[in-house]
Amino acid sequence: MHIFSQSFKYDHSWSHVVIGMWHKYPNPHCTHVVNVDVLDRTIDPITGIIRTERVLGCKQKAPSWIVKLFGGSEDAFVREISFIDPATQTATITSVNLSLSQFATCYERIQYRPMSSTQTAFTQTAEIQARMAMWRSMTDKFEDWLVQRFEQNAISGKAGFSDVLRTMWEAKEKQTAPS
């Protein structure tokens, strides 16, 4: 099992980041995400919390030994559940792979919270574990590849979302910034 975690800040207000969340894909840094659908969405009239369940479809190149092992498909689906709580300004996003879950799990949790009126803290943790009943060396190799891919996707995710937020909000933020 590998545990991955990182945190950094976006130079945008919490509400801009949370509005931007729904515009993250498509972006040129994250071409592996090919489709996104909302499966369920509820608004709690008492707490004001919005819960959204989505399915994301990803297509990524994998080494041929992995593709063969898993029946030749490069399509991978992820289930994502998010909670947006305006009262506490907390957004929490949990994602777990749907595809190949019998072979490995990647359980990821992300949280966005304001740091200041113009900055938002991002924290991310992921538990990646290969669950295969086969030779130990192969399980380790597969897990290493999953971790490497997750790290690459985390880098491109940050770059991609930063660009999306910049495009969406830069003009507006310049207008309202104190002179």
- The answer to whether 8 contacts another protein (rule: CB under 8 A) is no
**What three-state secondary structure class fits 148?**
helix
Name which position in 1, 3, 38, 67 contacts another protein (CB under 8 A): 38
Restricted to residues 41-70, the positions that interact with another protein (CB under 8 A) are: 41, 43-51, 55, 57
Options 31, 92, 118, 139; binder of another protein; rule CB under 8 A:
92
How many residues touch another protein under the rule CB under 8 A: the total is 47
- Does the protein bind another protein through residue 94 (CB under 8 A)? yes
Query: Does residue 131 contact residue 2 with C-beta atoms inside 8 Å?
Result: no
Using CB under 8 A, pick the residue from 2, 11, 31, 34 that binds another protein. Answer: 34
Distance CA 63, CA 47 (A): 46
Beta-carbon count within 10 A of 140 CB: 11
Residues of this chain, 103-122, that bind another protein according to CB under 8 A: 109, 111
- Compute the distance between CA of residue 1 and CA of residue 42 in angstroms, rounded to an integer: 34
Contact 161, 20 (CB under 8 A): yes
CA distance 77 to 99: 5
Binding site for another protein (CB under 8 A): 14-15, 18-19, 22-23, 25-26, 33-41, 43-51, 55, 57, 77, 79, 81, 83, 85-90, 92, 94, 96, 98-99, 101, 109, 111, 123
